Amino acid sequence: MLTLRFLVLFIHIVAVIVALGGSLFSTFALAPVLAAELDAPARLRVFRRIVRRLGVIVLTSLAVLAVTGILNVLFLGGVSILLAIKLILVIVVIGLALYQYGTIGVQIWRAPGPGPEVAELQARFRRVGLTVGSLVLLIVYLSIGLTRGSGAIVASIR
């Protein structure tokens, strides 16, 4: 049980938990409480700091997922159709996460103050975040089938 393959898979799954858990907490627990408890300027200040911190956490987790994922593929020894579909979805997720934190997050950070423009950016940030979260759940579902399901390995890389 204490093999390198096991350790890499463990880190892979911890990265999923960190990326998904942080996003779910901020979307469904923190954001509604901030909206109810803080006035607009304070809400924007807190939102900006969360975007920055969460951005580092989520993007780092995705990088860890990519590195440990490549090691997983090497340990597994082949690429199945299921894994190929998963990889396409992972590329979409990474692109969306970069857009969410890199583009929208930076625009929110640079906005002069609260207003309809920032509110629209925040709504877009949440929409993209929910899409990323849903896709990650789909990827987790596909991943369970990688070693357990009938996702046959069709193209060996060894």
Q: Which helix (H) or strand (E) holds 136?
A: helix 116-148
* Closest CB to ligand HEM among residues 14, 34: 14
**Tokens representing residue 44 in the block:** 């924007």
Under 8 Å between Cβ of 62 and 102: no
Which residues of the shown chain bind ligand HEM in the complex (CB under 6 A)?
A: 9, 12-13, 16, 65-66, 69-70, 72-73, 75-76, 83, 87, 90, 93, 136, 139-140, 143-144, 146-147
SS3 78: strand
Q: How far apart are CA 112 and CA 20, in angstroms?
A: 30
| Shortest Å distance, C-beta 147 to ligand HEM | 4
* Closest CB to ligand HEM among residues 70, 155: 70
* Closest CB to ligand HEM among residues 104, 132: 132
